[in-house]
Structure 1
Amino acid sequence: MTRGLPDLLAGWITGQRWFAGKGHAVDALAIDSLTELHGGDPALLHLIVSVRQADRRTRYQLPIGLRAELPGRLRHALIGACTWRGRQRYAYDAVHDHVLTGRLLAGMADELTVGALRFHRVPGAEIDPTLRGSVLTAEQSNTSLVFGEAYICKLFRQLTPGVSPELEIVMGLAAAGSAHIARPYGWIEGDVGGEPTTLAIMQEYLAGAAEGWTMALASVRDLYASPPGLSAADAGGDFAPEAFRLGGATAEVHDRLAEVFPTGSMSPREIKALIDRLHRKLEQAVGAVPRLALYAGVAAGAFDRLAGITHGMPVQRVHGDYHLGQVLRTPADWVVLDFEGEPGQPLAERRALDSPMRDVAGMLRSFDYAARHLLVGHPHADALEGRAREWSERNRAAFLEGYAAAGGPLTGDDMVMLRALEMSKAVYEVVYEARNRPDWLPIPLAAFTPGRDAP
């Protein structure tokens, strides 16, 4: 017995890791657009669907494969049996079928337009359409396909109408000659809600590069396993030199962003509005996590010190969701990834000008997480707390030194802004951990240690 494709998708989509409405029933699923990218058997359909859950409507991108017989290698991707053009077919998630994903690669190579979909190749880029694609399984909110060891193509699953900030920034930084991004090769575009919308971006795949988070955790493990009394500087795997280089790479990316995109100034009046917003978020966070009330004074004091800034503060395009998981170490240098901005925020907010100190604050918080992540559930957590603090402070300082060496000294006002934005990030983390990982709550709470008045 077969079912209609919308019914099949409504039952399947809730189990996907990138589905944003987990825990809530799907009231309706509608197909907004359907483009046949390849006919025959197997067929490749490109769908944009709208999922309604109560008063929330979310759009998703679904590449769907159709086959009369499903080979064993694709059974894990099965959605179900449906009727397509009068014949029974097995529908499945096409990202797992290298026969079909090659069509996406060929579309960008040949700059095709198929129905409402437009495939683009970066001018001067050469794309090999014969490479076989495979899915990266670690990703949560999108789906990335690696073609050979040459390209990585990120398919945005949840769609927001408009051009992706990531595409804008990567193309701008590439044109400016930045050495700290993965080279862009192409992208796919369609119309969502009447607006041209980025559906996928393909960049250079940095085979063999090491993730910053993984490198930092290896350094922390080395320190925790070293003999008592040995400092973070002397333990094997000291990360501080890499933190210094990462700071320099971050400053250079900020400098290029300021060259390529508009910049501005945050006036004292706007700073006052920022202070009010930060205090409101703090009050809401204390309401959600009463334990935070014991530490709220530290955050509030950092926010209030912003009032001492009596002139404009520079604002520009920034990364917006910057942490150790967003950077890769290649043999040459650090490379920055994922310029999408903070997940879940409206596109206009992710594209808005902001203080570059927001990215710096995000990375400083990431060093704290790296240092204390391994203490969660550790039988000797209390004894290792001092080492965690030492590792974090050493690498935070090295990052700031590298940032200042490449981008110019940080002013007193910069440091005040940085402290306030770091406290704001920690307040957000407290609420997130209380709701999702209560055992991790001590990590952000450590940010409010009395006397820790400077990054």
Structure 2
Amino acid sequence: MKNDQWQQLETALQHGLARFRWFGAKSRTITQVKIFQKMELPAKGTAQPYSIALARIEYDQGTSEIYALPVAFANGKPAARLLKTDRASVFWVGKNGEIAYDATLDAAFRSQVIQFIFTENSYKTGNAQFKAAVTSLAHGKVQKFAKRTPASRVLKAEQSNTSLVYGSKFVLKFYRRLSEGVNPDVEIGRFLTDETSFRHSPAVIGTIEFDPRQKNHEPITIGCVYEFVRNQGDAWKIFLMELKKLSKSASTRKPERLTKLAAPRFGLIEAARHPIPAPVKKEFGKLLTYAGQLGRRTYEMHAALASRSSPSEFKLEKLSPAAAAAFSKDLQRHSDLAFHVLRGSISKLSGSVRKDSIRLLEMRRAVLGKFTTLTKSLKGTTVSRTHGDYHLGQVLFTGSDFIIIDYEGEPARPLAERRRKHPPFRDVAGMLRSFSYAAQVARDQSGPHADRLGIWFSLWSQWTSVAYLRGYLENAGSGPENDKITSDLIQIYLLEKALYELVYELNNRPDWVKVPLSGILEILEA
């Protein structure tokens, strides 16, 4: 592309970035897009090379962000064809019909970029450079693919990054929103691969990064290649599918039979210390078994992340009073952000969602009071590296077991926060919130039975949470004397996670706002 075409692309991105699923700041106003670095990959058989561009996004308020854009150029018949078949992937249309589009659409680009990584290539641009590296354990695995790569495809699942799948061998995760410093997904993946015996996460194969080679600036991770794991889909898909089957059966029963199913008699932690009643097991079947197994794998992940005293980034620590105070301030800051975004979005909401949003805005002091009360349990608690964004969509189901993926952390948070150590129950709370999401979505999809099955879906969420906690706690040990602290920690992180979800859904999926909204109100009114 010519310089003037890159400039036109920048202008088009300023007005069009918000329509892309992976763009995470849809509620912010873009004032400028500036492509400040780019590398070229040779595109065999075409006149134009492929590019990986780094764009700095400026907003009317707040700090700027960096996004990675794989860019391809076309004109004539190829451009016309793409405008008809893949218009959603086109970044810019020129006055003569030429286009710039997302290069991940092209198999040639996908082949070129993974070969760049497997051959540990580099590309200099001024003093800076793009460079690739392969892990020591992976050299033997990738040598035969350095020149001939498997057939590839773009994973179509909704996510904040773009994943490229190469046969049944590799997955290249192309990060979209970038930050200076080591990406936690790569950092944790390498640690689990190289330093532990935990084998319920994909092995890291290689990376591509941009190194600015400037004082006070760190390299930026652009992509990471993982070993492909055969699976039947993520746990979100599996749980929803099974829940749909169960709810269909429940919808045929008389209402009085549904109301006989009992809720847990205790709080979640205490209920997890007791056997699950036989009628509940009969009602919810293998989903409770799956949840228990997932709880065990979650504990094993946490044990692996805390199993080494070095490097220091993975050393188990006690949370100092100063760190606890700083965390309390972070909770307040995230709460302020959630209320700010909600207040700014209230005019776009309607019906019961708008009504509940107004009710929540009036309960701001209650949120801060809840955090103040619960954070007393943080003092002296043990902290370690955690998954950071743990939910059913971050777990693959192989047909008999679970594989945990995506250690990047919550993409909307700054990198330093995503690398911060936390009590492992932060991840546990994230999974409990995911069960609530699944129950709400399944209920919405149950058509005319939604209202009648409301209590049944709520009971499923509660008992699935209990089964998950049983699987986790039976491996973690501990005892009743610590249950109060554990319960407080889970409550802290349930509320924190729901507030984060609220901001995320307002920015990305407004139709889903009711899920975290109802979760926040439920926690506050419990």
Q: TM-score, with normalisation over the residues of structure 2?
A: 0.75
Name the counterpart of 1:62: 69
Secondary structure of the corresponding residue to residue 145 of structure 1: strand
Name the counterpart of 2:292: 244
1:47 to 38, 53, 75: 53
Name the counterpart of 2:270: none
Name the counterpart of 2:301: 253
Secondary structure of the corresponding residue to residue 137 of structure 2: coil
Secondary structure of the corresponding residue to residue 383 of structure 1: coil
1:297 is displaced (CA, Å) by 5.1
Name the counterpart of 2:232: 209
Name the counterpart of 1:359: 427
Matched, 1:447 2:525: no
Decide whether the 8 Å contact of 2:231 with 2:397 is kept in 1: no
Deviation larger for 407-416 or 341-350: 407-416
| Separation in structure 2 between the aligned mates of residue 37 and residue 66 of structure 1, nearest angstrom | 13
Offset from partner CA, 1:268-308 (integer Å, 9 cap, x none): 55445545654675577678444135697598457514436
| Separation in structure 1 between the aligned mates of residue 182 and residue 473 of structure 2, nearest angstrom | 32
Offset from partner CA, 1:39-60 (integer Å, 9 cap, x none): 6642222221223333553222
Matched, 1:422 2:494: yes
1:23 is displaced (CA, Å) by 6.0
The 3 A distance-change label for structure 1 pair 348 and 306 is closer
Matched, 1:179 2:199: yes
The 3 A distance-change label for structure 1 pair 301 and 159 is closer
1:110 is displaced (CA, Å) by 1.4
Q: How does 1:284-295 map to 2 (within 5 A)?
A: 288=343, 289-292=357-360, 293=362
Name the counterpart of 1:266: 319
Name the counterpart of 1:398: 467
Decide whether the 8 Å contact of 2:499 with 2:516 is kept in 1: no
Decide whether the 8 Å contact of 1:372 with 1:388 is kept in 2: yes
1:111 is displaced (CA, Å) by 1.4
Decide whether the 8 Å contact of 2:331 with 2:371 is kept in 1: no
Matched, 1:169 2:188: yes
1:245 is displaced (CA, Å) by 0.7
Stretches of structure 1 that go unaligned for 5 or more consecutive residues are: none
Matched, 1:124 2:125: no
1:382 to 451, 462, 478: 451
Secondary structure of the corresponding residue to residue 343 of structure 1: coil
Matched, 1:320 2:388: yes
1:167 is displaced (CA, Å) by 0.2
Give the partner amino acid of 1:121: V
Deviation larger for 13-22 or 129-138: 13-22
1:37 to 18, 41, 51: 41
2:121 to 104, 112, 119: 112
The 3 A distance-change label for structure 1 pair 40 and 80 is farther
Give the partner amino acid of 2:207: W
Decide whether the 8 Å contact of 2:43 with 2:112 is kept in 1: no
Deviation larger for 323-332 or 390-399: 323-332
Give the partner amino acid of 1:50: R
1:171 is displaced (CA, Å) by 0.4
- Consecutive aligned runs of 4 or more in structure 1 exceeding 6 Å deviation: none
Root mean square deviation of aligned Cα: 3.3
Name the counterpart of 1:11: 12
Deviation larger for 164-173 or 394-403: 394-403
Secondary structure of the corresponding residue to residue 65 of structure 2: strand
1:96 to 102, 105, 108: 105
| Separation in structure 2 between the aligned mates of residue 361 and residue 285 of structure 1, nearest angstrom | 18
| Separation in structure 1 between the aligned mates of residue 109 and residue 337 of structure 2, nearest angstrom | 48
| Separation in structure 1 between the aligned mates of residue 514 and residue 525 of structure 2, nearest angstrom | 22
Offset from partner CA, 1:147-179 (integer Å, 9 cap, x none): 112211111112211111110000000111211
**Higher relative contact order, chain-length normalized (CA < 8 Å, sep 6+):** 2
The structure with the largest strand share of the pair is 1
| Separation in structure 2 between the aligned mates of residue 363 and residue 196 of structure 1, nearest angstrom | 32
State the percentage of identical aligned residues.
30
| Separation in structure 1 between the aligned mates of residue 499 and residue 335 of structure 2, nearest angstrom | 7
Q: How many matched pairs?
A: 446
Name the counterpart of 2:265: none
The 3 A distance-change label for structure 1 pair 449 and 16 is closer
1:147 to 148, 151, 166: 166
| Separation in structure 2 between the aligned mates of residue 111 and residue 323 of structure 1, nearest angstrom | 33
Decide whether the 8 Å contact of 1:7 with 1:29 is kept in 2: no
Offset from partner CA, 1:206-239 (integer Å, 9 cap, x none): 2333211112212322232224336652247531
